[in-house]
Amino acid sequence: MSILTFSDIKRAHERISPFITRTPVVISESLNKMFGAQLYFKCENQQRAGAFKFRGATNAVQNLNDEEAVKGVATHSSGNHAAALSLAARNRNIPAYIVMPRNAPQTKIDNVRSFDGKITFCEPTLEAREEGLKAIVNETGATFIHPYDCFDVICGQGTAALEMIEDYGPFDIVMTPVGGGGLLSGTAIVAKHLIPDVKVIAGEPANADDACRSLKAGYIVPSENPDTIADGLKTSLGKLNFLIISRYVDEIKTASEQSIRAAMILLRKQAGIFAEPSSAVPLAAMIENRDLFRNKKIGMIISGGNISEETFSQLTKEAD
């Protein structure tokens, strides 16, 4: 299995720069004071398609040769990767076939449709997603672009950290959420290359803590019945992602559902950042491990903001 290098991510950044947004970094003095740290939030909620996923999807689509591209691309996704791949495909004037679980958030379904993604719904199980995808690929010849366990996708995801460190580094700690591991693995490669003594720490829901358990065990522990509002973090780690995370990530800290809700509110009220639950998990991990982060300079990637006002209010009501 080919391992990524910093040079691969640097080339990916050059490839996708004409298409992506170089997202801003937000600093909140009130949150700095609250946590006794210097916090820098890289706002991928302001990325095109509303999440960091557009980086990896764009890199994968732009790397297809013409013969592959004309048949389109396909994937299974609960939302953000689906929307990102749909937009990346539209930018190249090729079709995107998306298998989505029936219970995917309506905001994310609408996002995919707005970018001309062709949706096929399935039952909310990995088996159903994979079967639906296989049928579409067999019928169309489309190239499967995995949401996270994919060389080109990981390279694209790492470009968010590259920008953050170029603009505001160096940092003592770099943080991302972790689900399948695409963002974390790309970020870790970049961070360790540019800041050798940096600590790379991920946040993960305690109710979906397979990555934390996998890192401790030394092998992939599959996610079983994850029950978290952070719908983007329910997937198990990919093989390539786990290989990279095992090599470069220092710690994975978990957070309760209550802390995730509290972090969403803090980001909105104190930093003006409208973050979906998955994006708030690193800050939620900070809430539960304050001493670890005190007096540190921390770069944190806010992974996405694809959530409706109504859903945000419902999720945060009991924590407010």
pLDDT of residue 319: 65
| Assigned token pair, 33 | 């004071």
| Burial environment of residue 4 by CB neighbours within 10 A (0 to 12, 13 to 18, 19 or more) | buried
Rounded CA-CA distance 126/138 in Å is: 18
Distances (CA, A) of 27 to 6, 273, 280: 27, 10, 15
pLDDT beyond 70 at 109: yes
User: What is the mean predicted confidence (pLDDT) over 289-314?
Assistant: 95
Higher pLDDT, 232 or 267: 267
Can you list the positions of beta strands (E) in the chain?
Answer: 25-26, 38-43, 73-76, 96-101, 118-122, 143-144, 173-177, 199-205, 251-255, 297-302
> Over the chain, what is the mean pLDDT?
95
At 62, list the tokens: 């732009």
pLDDT in tens, 159-192: 999 999 999 999 999 999 999 999 999 999 999 9
Give the pLDDT confidence of 115-144 residue by residue, as tens digits: 999 999 999 887 899 999 999 999 999 999
Spell out the residues 6+ positions from residue 151 whose beta carbon is closer than 8 angstroms to its own. 2, 4, 8, 240
Predicted confidence at residue 96, as pLDDT, reads 98
CA quadruple 309, 96, 6, 215: dihedral sign: positive
Q: Which pLDDT belongs to residue 22?
A: 98
- According to the model, what pLDDT value does residue 320 have? 58
Both structure tokens of 207: 């109710």
Q: How much is the pLDDT for 137?
A: 97
177-235 pLDDT, tens digit per residue, is 999 999 999 999 999 999 999 999 999 999 999 999 999 999 999 988 899 999 889 88
Please name the residues in contact with 110: beta carbons below 8 A apart, sequence gap of 6 or more.
none
DSSP 256: -
Q: What is the pTM of this model?
A: 0.95
Q: What is the average pLDDT across 100-114?
A: 88
In a 3-state reduction of DSSP, which class is residue 52?
A: coil
CB 302 within 8 A of CB 41: yes
